[in-house]
Structure 1
Amino acid sequence: MSANKSSLRIGIVAGEASGDILGAGLIAALQQRFDEVKVEGIAGPRMQGLGAQSLYPMERLSVMGLVEPLKRLPELLRIRKHLREQFLENPPDVFIGIDSPDFNLGLEESLKAAGIPTVHYVSPSVWAWRRGRIKKIARAVDHMLTLLPFEVDFYREHGVPVTFVGHPLADDLPLSPDVNTARSALGFAADDRIVALLPGSRGGEVRYLGPLFLQAARWCHQRQPDLKFVLPAANEARRAELDALLAAFPELPLTLLDGRSHEALAASDAVLIASGTATLETLLLKKPMVVSYKMGPVSFAIFSRLLQTPWVALPNLLAHRELVPEILQNDATPAALGAEVLKFFEDPLLCDRLQRQFNEIHQQLRRNASARAAEAVCALIQAKS
């Protein structure tokens, strides 16, 4: 569908780095369809680089768990109230909430009730837990854009218009990663044996998983002293936290990076990683991984009771079975994580099987996602105009 007017005004809210990537791809695709695209809301650096105006720092929305966000609730409610007033006073052609469902769905519900078309980009894990949210989603969302194929049926069953768009990372990343170039860029040799540590991009994740992952690295290094480790810091705040943690691990041959998580993953032989969206990039780079997660004990107690799927790791959800080990909460000890990581160095056939299965999933997710998302947004605007 070609644009039927020369300009487009978008309200948008992205709450974390993965949403910023999705938003940037969508904005770029819409900019190819319209002479002018104005974007306002909450945006990260990638979207801002395409001209999006961010009224608040995206970091303010990056909270984790079930209990922890309550501490920030007054601030989050103030931000949402201001955005609601802003968009109701000067309505955009469409509002797009990217992930962050606890923040975005309430905003979308108000805007949809006022006649503003609403799109939610990235399905909440409503099929996995808190399934009652589908009622609110139906009230709040004119069109759902999903990244994963198995999500579509759930929305169709509940009468929510939905489009599976695939994932932009699957479009962007080659089927065969360039390992040697990544290693060279990071100063590693072609024959180095490398483990990437990715404890997450949020402060709470680094607090819970940072020490654990470093202890697991020490456990591995004591048994295989030739291993090297690489640890990308998501931003300056995480860098400071990781620097402080590393003081207790002077013996580890570890390279701490400012950003560059993609190169760290591409260069690695195996990955120890927090459950989350980064596991998808790891899969697309065909890297064997051990997935872990920890959160506050109250949050985990609530979460585990509500969970309605046997897995939390995206590779396992996509495969409908346990492709990679996931070790959560109290089960996540340095020895348990380290033992699973070392299996990838002891069993080449295991790695080969994983990489073939990762390649199949990669091809399923290659759908020119940003263009498909832009097509769905344009179709909604036309239908509502």
Structure 2
Amino acid sequence: MVAGEASGDMYGADVARRLFRLFSGCRIYGLGGQRMREAGVELEGDISRIAVVGPFEVISYLGKLYRVFRRLAERIEREPPSAAVLIDFPDFNLRLAKRIKDAGAPIIYYISPQVWAWRQGRLSQIQRLVDKMLVIFPFEEQIYREAGIPVEFVGHPLVDMVCASKSKEEFCQDHQLDPRKPIVALLPGSRRKEVRYILPTLCKTVDLIVIQKPDTQFVLPMAPGLEKRLLENMIGARPITVVMDETYNAIRYSRAAIVASGTATLETALLGAPEVIVYRISRATWFLGKLLLKVRLFGIVNIILGEEVVPELFQNKMTPEEVSRTALALMDDVWLQSRIRGNYEKLRRQLGKGNVAERVAESVSELMGKHL
């Protein structure tokens, strides 16, 4: 089982737990993070040390990526798996898939590469290597079916996972917050480089919001794999409360959320918090992306719904002034809040009915049965 990002680590851990229950005494090895390790996966590498945000940024991590790839490839040759579950992370996983195929193991690819956005040429590579593609967005199924690739829409795993675990009063009491005052959630990303690009602007945004609304409280849910010291050094003396292991509570009880583009934007939508999606990467990566990407919208919430339901502020548009103006509107404009939440309900209906990890585990079992 191989996952290369925080979200894949979360989804992989859930599938691993189902597989352990389904196959008593089975062993799972691969690449992942803290959650997959806690689920019982034997890790050949830790994603917290290799996660990157773009093709130019990856250069500084090539040595680490290669060493992890080599360790996995050697173990696959030494201990051929009965099946492989590859989770997103396509540049790494599609190369590794060749080694897995040579070892004779069936391959399930769970969470599709974004071929609908760029690099559609990967479809021919996927057709050669992947035995079954499990997709999490409804519009992806047709793409693979038309390419002659066995595919199943299993739904989005977040539908099963996303919910608050405390009442607002309990959450606020635990973090010395006032439940009567507005809360704004800040989610600057799950990777160190993302945080370095995004959090400084969010800190300046906080300064501007406080001028307009002095009673606003700010919470920053820390992503697994990040260091609290990194965040605190950037935050300084600002009134931002860093919380750990309570991302969903922090979002659920926020009046508005400022969220780095990625999985967290979908989590925010499922929790019902009006959000503005932000992102910044290096100029070179942004320029290359603009040339290659085939999408009009960038936030996955908006892509699924086919329109800009929640505001997107990317790259040069992501200024403290614009982000604060947008966040204040999300906090105060009741009509805007109602429109966004109504669209969130449409989004939820498109993401499937849940029990996703079970469906993935069943697909693995079925595929293994066919290859015995």
**Structure 1 and Structure 2 fold alike (TM over 0.5):** yes
* Residue aligned with 2:214, SS: coil
What is the CA-CA distance between 1:86 and the residue it aligns to? 1.1
Equivalent position amino acid for 2:201 in 1:
L
Match of 2:272 in 1: 286
Identify the range of structure 1 (280-289 vs 24-33) with the bigger mean alpha-carbon deviation: 24-33
Match of 1:67 in 2: 56
Match of 1:234 in 2: 223
Match of 1:48 in 2: 37
Equivalent position amino acid for 2:26 in 1:
V
* Residue aligned with 1:290, SS: strand
Match of 2:111 in 1: 122
The question of whether the paired residues in 1 share the 8 Å contact of 2:48 and 2:225 is answered with no
Identical columns (%): 37
Match of 2:324 in 1: 338
Match of 1:208 in 2: 197
Q: Report how many aligned residue pairs link the two structures.
A: 371
Identify the range of structure 1 (212-221 vs 272-281) with the bigger mean alpha-carbon deviation: 212-221
The question of whether the paired residues in 1 share the 8 Å contact of 2:162 and 2:248 is answered with no
* Residue aligned with 1:38, SS: coil
Separation of aligned partners in 2, 1:184 and 1:149: 40
The question of whether the paired residues in 2 share the 8 Å contact of 1:109 and 1:139 is answered with no
Match of 1:379 in 2: 366
* Residue aligned with 2:22, SS: coil
Uncovered stretches (5+) of structure 1, i.e. residues with no partner:
1-11
Measured on the aligned residues, the alpha-carbon RMSD in Å equals 1.9
Match of 1:326 in 2: 312
The question of whether the paired residues in 1 share the 8 Å contact of 2:76 and 2:99 is answered with no
Separation of aligned partners in 1, 2:150 and 2:365: 14
* Residue aligned with 1:196, SS: strand
Equivalent position amino acid for 2:300 in 1:
L
* Residue aligned with 1:120, SS: strand
What is the CA-CA distance between 1:359 and the residue it aligns to? 2.3
What is the CA-CA distance between 1:140 and the residue it aligns to? 2.5
Return closer, same or farther for 1:38/1:176 CA change in 2, 3 Å cut-off: closer
Return closer, same or farther for 1:180/1:312 CA change in 2, 3 Å cut-off: farther
Uncovered stretches (5+) of structure 2, i.e. residues with no partner:
none
Question: Out of 287, 293, 296, which is 1:307 matched to?
Answer: 293
Q: Per-residue CA shift, 1:327-360, capped at 9, x if unaligned?
A: 1111111111111111112211211221122123
Question: Out of 105, 111, 120, which is 1:131 matched to?
Answer: 120
* Residue aligned with 2:53, SS: coil
* Residue aligned with 1:136, SS: helix
Separation of aligned partners in 1, 2:206 and 2:215: 12
Return closer, same or farther for 1:242/1:288 CA change in 2, 3 Å cut-off: same
Could you list the structure 1 runs, at least 4 aligned residues long, displaced by more than 6 angstroms after superposition.
Answer: none
The question of whether the paired residues in 2 share the 8 Å contact of 1:14 and 1:97 is answered with yes
Question: Out of 65, 71, 77, which is 1:76 matched to?
Answer: 65
Separation of aligned partners in 2, 1:304 and 1:295: 12
